[in-house]
Amino acid sequence: MEPARGRVAFAYDRTRYHPPEVSGRIATAITAPVERRFRDPHFLELGVGTGRIGVPVLARGFRFTAVDNDPAMLEVFRYKIAGVNRKVQVVEADVRELPFEKGRFHAVLSVHLWHLIPDWQRALLEAIRVLAPQGFLFEGWDEGVGESEDWRIQEVWREILKSRGFELKRGRHKARLMEVEKALRKLGLEPETQVAAEWDEERTPRQSLEAIEERLYSFTHQVPEPVFRESVEELYRWARATYADLDQPMPIRWRFMLRTTAL
């Protein structure tokens, strides 16, 4: 694992954190309908990352296969499952060309993934292909409730970029979710969305700044390096002038949305 990629993977794991009780509620929302329908179900997660969704699922003793194309993310995932890896298969692969036979899995999970794949249609069809009859496709995402200082910092950064001639495009994730839902309905399927968990997080201005600085959000990847560095430096100057203490926690209200599609 390259040091730079490793740092990003660990930083991602640290900032995309769910409290234990929230992880438990999410895992229950995912596993309960599958367990009711299938005996000894087998779960597949596409783009498992560092395992914040997968680990609570596989810790319940289910068979679990994890796929990602980022070896650094998978290295962190392997570290986290060291004590519970008997029923886990970890595969480095492209989710658009899954190395599995048709109908192998009883449930497929995809969390914060579709917007990262330009030809997402191939990945969606692959997910459906490897699902068993009456299996479940689960799509999940975190969603902020109301405005927060974290959001304010991101918006200030967007304005800084705009003043430097760069228009930051956001909302790709939400737009892609709508596209995927439309595609599922076109296939004759009926996805249903629920709030699986809701919680409060305490995040400091410094943590919000570092998340941008370390390019942990996909929307940061579109900014060219010279513009990115200068804009982040200006954002830090704004933050130091705005907040008396960059390490003072700020409340953020979150909810985890889960879209379920049964074949």
Task: For 156-206, write each residue's pLDDT tens digit.
Answer: 999 999 999 999 998 899 999 999 999 999 999 999 999 999 999 999 999
Residue recorded with tokens 């997080």: 201
Instruction: Check whether 84 has a pLDDT greater than 90.
Output: no
Instruction: Check whether 4 has a pLDDT greater than 50.
Output: no
| Mean pLDDT of the region 84-109 | 93
Residue 83 gets the label, from left (phi > 0), alpha (psi -120 to 50) or beta, of alpha
Buried b (16+ CB within 10 A) or exposed e, 175-212: ebbeebbebbeeeeeebeeeebbeeebebbbbbbbbbb
Model confidence, pTM: 0.90
* Whether 137 contacts 110, CB under 8 Å: yes
**What is the per-residue pLDDT for 200?**
95
* Whether 91 contacts 65, CB under 8 Å: yes
| pLDDT one-digit tens code per residue, 11-64 | 555 556 799 999 999 999 999 999 999 999 999 999 999 999 999 999 999 999
| Mean pLDDT of the region 210-215 | 94
Superfamily for the 3-146+171-202+252-262 domain: Vaccinia Virus protein VP39 (3.40.50.150)
- Under DSSP, is residue 260 helix (H, G, I), strand (E, B) or coil? strand
Cα distances (Å, whole numbers) of residue 202 to 11, 30, 148, 153: 17, 26, 11, 15
Range name among 14-18, 69-73, 245-249 with the lowest pLDDT average: 14-18
Range name among 82-96, 106-120, 125-139, 185-199 with the lowest pLDDT average: 82-96
**What is the per-residue pLDDT for 17?**
74
| pLDDT one-digit tens code per residue, 122-168 | 999 999 999 999 999 999 999 999 889 999 999 999 999 999 999 99
CA distance 223 to 227: 7
Instruction: Output DSSP code: residue 83.
Output: T
**What is the per-residue pLDDT for 2?**
47
**What is the per-residue pLDDT for 39?**
95
Q: Band of the pLDDT at 3, cuts 50, 70, 90?
A: very low
Domain-wise residue ranges, the chain:
3-146+171-202+252-262
Instruction: Check whether 85 has a pLDDT greater than 70.
Output: no
Task: Return the half-sphere exposure (C-beta side, CA atoms, 13 A cut-off) of residue 204.
Answer: 9
**What is the per-residue pLDDT for 83?**
72
